[in-house]
A and B are shown apart, each in its own frame.
Chain A
Amino acid sequence: MSQKNLSSNSIQNHRVTWEGCSVLLDINDGDRLVFARLSPAAKLKIGNKNCSLQPLIGCPFGSLFQVENGPEGPYLSRFIPSAEGNKIEEKTDSETKVESRDNRALIDNNRAQSLTGEDIEAMRSQGARGDEIIEALIANSTTFEKKTSFSQEKYRVRKQKKYAPKVLLRRPVARSICEAYFKKYPARIGFLRVDTLSLLLSMANVSANSDVLVVDMIGGLLTGSVAERLGGAGYVCNTYQGDAPYSMDIVRIFNFSNEICKRIVRSPTSDLLSQKESSEQILQNEISMEETSLPSENGESNLDLENTNTAERVCTSGKAGEKASQDTMDMFKANGFSSLIIAAPEIDTWTLVNDLLPLLSNSAPFAIYHQYLQPLATCMHNLQVGKMAIGLQISEPWLREYQVLPSRTHPCMQMSAFGGYILSGTKTCST
């Protein structure tokens, strides 16, 4: 086997956090998801307490933290799980045996726990660790021993979430960002599910050295995901109707290097469609562009990056989404785009496709996302009638998660019933 290239040398593949880095904090196994930017002053509110994010700087992604009570209040401390398995592992034997306990003797009268709220607060102020509080709760529960081992485990997990919350440091990448938004604010990303996003990227053949045209009205998630796949080679051009570019705020959650940010450009559709203009006209256009784009840049919301210290934003993604330079525009016009992805719930699909398809190079694939079937069906029909594309297909992904446990494997009780529709196809040569 060849020995070359053994260490992965990605310009974006960070595995350790740094000051100014964007992170996704997963609190208590997905109960709460918070995007944050790490700085010594940044704080995270857990329960009713504020914890500094300073201890997270310089830690590997994937590390787990637990809230501990110190003399100066609660703080985040690195939690290293034991290398060899965990509680579930040790119990496998007993679990396969038939459970003899059941819940016939359990009565819901709210008297099972003899420890009061004041008792717990007193323990805390004396510096008791979360685990110690949980053990005390178990010791003082009159019903714990009568529970089945499954419900004992559930009890433990519930108390752990309350008294010893854990924070997992996740990498903000297309997958985690899409999943977090889908869970927290699905409307902001047009209800685009992660498997649907992955299909869009595949169907549009996104890879390094491609020039991808996108219509991204889902906050920049699409643009960012494409840029992630380009890895700094090729371009993603975010085009928009009218004068005001669509928001690309989500792009800044990715930890993109300047190299990658420079490859994220925007251009009004009219400019892409217009013939090559004289340089004077271009200059004028550029000036007016700057003016119109100002409000949207200033009015950016910081809602998603929950961070008390906004001034400290060492944003490496600052350059993302600048107007495409004339050279780049000329290149787009000369070569055509290598593919097209549309996620524009508010614009008529057929009108958009009819406008944009001529900008694609011959044999270029495209993928169009929509929450509703009809606009895609109409668009597909028109493309067929106009003989503009082949390999046309409307698909709807279906995703089901499973609980896998010894003797207790079944599909999860809750699932997302809908991830949207995709119209995909390949542009044919018109001549």
Chain B
Amino acid sequence: MLAIDSVKKISFNRCIGGGDLVIVYERHDNMKAVKVCEGSVLQNRFGVFKHSEWIGKPFGSKVFSNKGGFVYLLAPTPELWTLVLSHRTQILYIADISFVIMYLEIIPGCLVLESGTGSGSLTTSLARAVAPTGHVYTFDFHEQRAASARDDFETTGLSSLVTVGVRDIQGEGFPDEYSGLADAVFLDLPQPWLAIPSAAKMLKQDGTLCSFSPCVEQVQRSCETLRTNFTDIRTFEVLLRTYEVREGKMDSCQGVEGGSNESLPCKRRQCSDGSNVLSNSISPVVMARPCSEARGHTGYLTFARLKCLS
């Protein structure tokens, strides 16, 4: 997914090969991750797609099924991965993810601790942000979930940047070996306040912490605990509103020539169809309006900075 090896970056010239991970795009709300394999096929409502016909095509190509249906093959990115990964838990989405990366000040070379791993949606973006020289150590107390996440990082080619550990961070805290080494810590736990003292121990001075909690009671308690060792404690909620765009044909009431005082041009259009309408009374307009459905709440993001005491 990432150009960890600078030669393998996405370019005009780079084509899909066997073993590559591609994102099969049907529609903006219908995508799927597929590992390309010479003898395999992809079957969906558009028909059967042979992987062998994909090999050698550039990323971003439109490919056709036996029935003439088509899909696009995209190069994977953390954003696309978030839309296709298998949900083993509730996941973080782009608005929260990008804000977390920016607010935790994660840049290449950083050492980041995360718990829990969950489905690895945020982890994938953390890995992109610390690459090529940093590392993400992520922990989940659920053994199988950790194993699935490990498999996913193998699939997305991020294993050299992410290490998944099985550990109950609320109960045991982060491992001592990272004491004072973390640039940033991210917590997505049911009782984050239990892990905050350990997080404080792991962080470098002025290091950043973020805790993601869906409920305000969790935030309340976390903030009380944070006040002991942290400063700059701030809680946010970030959401996205999306817009739909369409071209509308609008009747124009001023465009009528002749200036006659007859019936309104709008009415004239309704009774006549096409030929009788004055050509300049309809103008195509591109219009935008917010989509009527949206995510109304994901969670509160509480950020803090370890106090600088020396």
Contact = CB atoms under 8 A, between A and B. Distances in A.
B300 interface: yes
A378 B248 CA distance: 12
B206 A61 contact: yes
Interface stretch (A120-128, A156-164, A240-248, A393-401): A393-401
A365 interface: yes
B75 A363 contact: yes
B105 A173 contact: yes
Interface in B52-94: 57-62, 72-75, 77-79, 94
Nearest to A92: B224
Interface string B232-243: 011111111111
A380 B231 CA distance: 43
Contacts of A335: 9, 11-13
A5 B135 contact: yes
A207 interface: yes
Interface stretch (A194-202, A270-278, A281-289): A194-202
A141 interface: no
Given A8-B110, A406-B220, A363 B10 contact: yes
A231 to B, nearest CB: 3
Contacts of B292: none
Interface string B90-109: 00001101110111010111
Interface string B4-38: 10100111111000000000010010000000000
B266 interface: no
B299 interface: no
Contact of A395 (B131, B234, B242): B242
Given A10-B109, A377-B243, A361 B309 contact: no
B269 interface: no
A175 B242 CA distance: 24
B147 interface: no
B28 to A, nearest CB: 5
A183 interface: no
A6 B178 contact: yes
A62 to B, nearest CB: 3
A298 interface: no
A63 interface: yes
B192 interface: no
Interface stretch (A78-86, A100-108, A147-155, A215-223): A78-86
Contacts of A198: 98-99, 101-103
21 contacts: A1-B163, A2-B163, A10-B133, A13-B109, A80-B310, A195-B95, A202-B94, A202-B125, A209-B3, A211-B9, A230-B108, A335-B9, A363-B10, A384-B245, A391-B25, A393-B242, A396-B241, A402-B219, A404-B219, A404-B233, A429-B61
Interface of A: 1-3, 5-13, 15, 60-64, 80-81, 83-86, 88-89, 92, 171, 173-175, 194-195, 197-199, 201-203, 205, 207-211, 228-234, 334-336, 338, 361-365, 373-374, 376-378, 380-381, 384, 390-402, 404-406, 409, 421, 426-429, 431
Interface of B: 2-4, 6, 9-14, 25, 28, 57-62, 72-75, 77-79, 94-95, 97-99, 101-103, 105, 107-111, 125, 128-129, 131-135, 137, 163, 165, 175, 177-178, 181, 183, 204-206, 216, 219-220, 223-224, 227-229, 231, 233-243, 245-247, 286-288, 290, 300, 302, 305-310
